[in-house]
Copies of this chain bind each other. A is one copy, B any other.
């Protein structure tokens, strides 16, 4: 695997990506358009229920679209192994349901003041409905997997689900703990984000009847892509209003989540800055202008660049992991380029 990976540095795909970093994800979606149409049809079909509020609430998140990155990965992984059946459609829909259930449950908060101005599902429909519809989607995910009929795929996704909730709990219990270090952060993002990326890719390989080695390589790709993806996401939560182009920023800051930029800033902090982070993110005693100050401190220490460097290392590991598939010329180049796309995100 490592030899193949080395052949692959500085390849053409990488250069193309620099010119148009959004291309690979869109190209992947275009290339797999028929597959993804089938997946979307399954998603819409299986989110139906005799209880009208269920598709309404689920649709609030699902029908809105989103990039469908996780189901796209599952489909791409199977396709790259030459699979032309339909099992991976159900798998991909299932993965999207697990992701959506997680989002719904993520949005349930104890203190509704904490997510100001954000019309998340729980504020529109209430905490209880958001929880219960999340449970419904989660159950639907398992119903779809039962239909696939593979205990191995079921195991991968059941394990992933348990790990995701562990990661979410760990994040919750280490929130506002300025002493929680990078090891804790890595545990959290491996579990809450990378695990489902990994499971989607691995199970995609399984649906295609891939060998154990192929499935492990796909898993490794997904995991490292997921880590890089989450790191960039966390870094971008501290971009200032000008760079945000109307997107939400500062959510992690307002909740005092111990994410990568904060950890990197803490490592560079003098006494005054440390006191600032303790007050704002440790004690959650925030006042107007604090987020702008936080962004200014981040910029002064070059935190984005430092974080990007860390994320890029995981991105390279992801690219190495799929090197054994380099001879496949349809999907492989796009999965390779997708890493550069993720690392090039600025919004």
Contacts and interface: CB of A to CB of B under 8 A. Distances in A.
B142 A127 contact: no
A51 interface: yes
A54 interface: yes
Contacts of A146: 151, 154-155, 158
Nearest to A135: B165
Contact of A162 (B126, B129, B136): B136
A303 to B, nearest CB: 27
Interface in A42-82: 49-51, 53-54
Interface stretch (A24-32, A105-113, A264-272, A281-289): A105-113
A51 B109 contact: no
Interface residues of A, number: 44
Interface of A (DSSP majority class): helix
Interface centre among A53, A134, A145, A158 (most CB of B within 10 A): A158
A172 B128 contact: yes
Given A143-B155, A155-B146, A165 B133 contact: yes
A136 to B, nearest CB: 4
Interface of A: 49-51, 53-54, 101-102, 105, 108-110, 126-129, 131-136, 138-140, 142-143, 145-146, 149, 151, 154-155, 158-159, 161-162, 164-166, 168-170, 172-173
Given A138-B138, A146-B158, 20 more contacts: A51-B169, A51-B170, A51-B173, A53-B173, A54-B169, A108-B108, A108-B127, A110-B126, A129-B173, A132-B165, A133-B165, A133-B169, A134-B135, A135-B161, A139-B161, A139-B164, A140-B162, A142-B158, A145-B158, A149-B151
